[in-house]
Amino acid sequence: NAISFISEQTSADLAQEQSSLVQQLTMEAELHHALINHDFFLEYQPLYDFSRGGQKMIAIEALIRWRRKNGDLVPPDVFIPIAEQSRLIVQIGRWVLGQACRDLAKLQQAGWGDLQMHINMAAPEFINAKLPTELLGLMEAYNLSPKFLCLEMTEGMVMKQPDKLIPVMSSLRQLGFKISLDDFGMGHSSLSRLKKLPISYLKIDRSFIYGLPQDKGDKAIVRTILDLGRHMNVSVIAEGVENDAQFAFLRQFGCSLIQGFVLSRPKSLAELMAMSLDRRYQSKVVLG
């Protein structure tokens, strides 16, 4: 009957809830070990600028990976949300920052003098009052200038706690760091708030790039974001560009900062170091 059906449903839900809680706690413990055992590593995806005729790799974005002891590779979309539910994200983020700055210093010393590093950050990392001091400490330790470091925050995270995050963004901007609004278009910005954000870049979410150049909705959204960037005087980056047709559409509508598999997959530091400086100015895409 109806009542026993309902109570069965509830106990099934409860069991499910408990098992996902157990899974979460298990993964938290594993992440903690991964930090201690150095099981994380970074890959770097190039970002290219097409605004000066040719093509120049102006930045790389650090992307964290977790290699389990059994060899399995866990993608960040799986473990970052779990780390965000505990304080672990702050420790993981600190490791990412240190590693990425160290690697950027190596690349700059190897001749990539003006290369920027983009780093994805989670909200709890910004709600740490010591963040500016920690970042300045890294700049000093690795002899880097803040203008080469760009912190990526998702639009969704900024709009969820604007009152807490915007003041931190402003003080970091004042210190010379750059800020990029990642996954833009997914986070329900109010336009009046967007206008006041202290950001250097808007990064169009890759879900809108996917349907280019056929999907009418994606086309309209991408063109609108490009216009918005021009009016706000903020550079727009397209991420997740996978093929020549998407690339051609973006170039046609004036997008000059492009990242995606069509240009380069994420690379290891060793691969970047092995890349000659000449190759920084060209890649497999032939400009029409």
Residues in touch with ligand C2E (CB under 6 A): 45, 62-64, 75-77, 80, 96, 120-122, 152, 182-183, 206, 239-242, 260-261, 266
Q: Which two three-digit tokens encode residue 258?
A: 């492009």
Contact 59, 117 (CB under 8 A): yes
Q: Which stretch binds Mg ion (CB under 5 A): 5-13, 24-32, 82-90, 174-182?
A: 174-182
Smallest gap from residue 7 Cβ to Mg ion (A): 40
Smallest gap from residue 77 Cβ to ligand C2E (A): 5
Q: What is the DSSP string of 214-281?
A: T-HHHHHHHHHHHHHHHHHT-EEEE----SHHHHHHHHHTT--EE-STTT---B-HHHHHHS-GGGGG
Which of the choices Mg ion, ligand C2E, none does residue 80 contact, using the CB cut-off of 5 to 8 A by kind? ligand C2E
Residues 6+ apart with CB under 8 A from 58: 47, 48, 49, 114, 115, 116, 257
Given 183, 189, 229, 241, the residue binding Mg ion (CB under 5 A): 183
3-state SS assignment for residue 199 = coil
What is the distance between the alpha carbons of residues 104 and 60, in angstroms, rounded to a whole number?
Answer: 9
Smallest gap from residue 7 Cβ to ligand C2E (A): 40
Cite the DSSP H helix spans in the chain: 2-36, 76-84, 88-109, 123-126, 131-141, 155-160, 162-174, 191-196, 206-209, 216-232, 244-252, 269-274
Phi and psi torsions of 247, nearest 5°: -60, -45
Amino acid letter for position 103? D
Q: Which stretch binds Mg ion (CB under 5 A): 27-35, 89-97, 171-179, 183-191?
A: 183-191
* Residue (103 or 182) nearer to Mg ion, CB: 182
Smallest gap from residue 9 Cβ to ligand C2E (A): 34
| Residue list 191-250, contact with Mg ion (CB under 5 A) | none
For residue 99, the Cα-to-chain-centroid distance in whole angstroms is 16
Which of the choices ligand C2E, Mg ion, none does residue 162 contact, using the CB cut-off of 5 to 8 A by kind? none
* Residue (109 or 224) nearer to Mg ion, CB: 224
* Residue (77 or 163) nearer to ligand C2E, CB: 77
Given 45, 116, 120, 246, the residue binding Mg ion (CB under 5 A): 120
Torsion of CA 168, 155, 43, 31, to 10 degrees: 80
* Residue (59 or 96) nearer to ligand C2E, CB: 96
* Residue (27 or 47) nearer to Mg ion, CB: 47
Which of the choices Mg ion, ligand C2E, none does residue 189 contact, using the CB cut-off of 5 to 8 A by kind? none
Which of the choices ligand C2E, Mg ion, none does residue 122 contact, using the CB cut-off of 5 to 8 A by kind? ligand C2E
For residue 236, the Cα-to-chain-centroid distance in whole angstroms is 14
Given 153, 182, 237, 258, the residue binding Mg ion (CB under 5 A): 182
Interface residues toward Mg ion, by CB under 5 A: 120, 152, 182-183
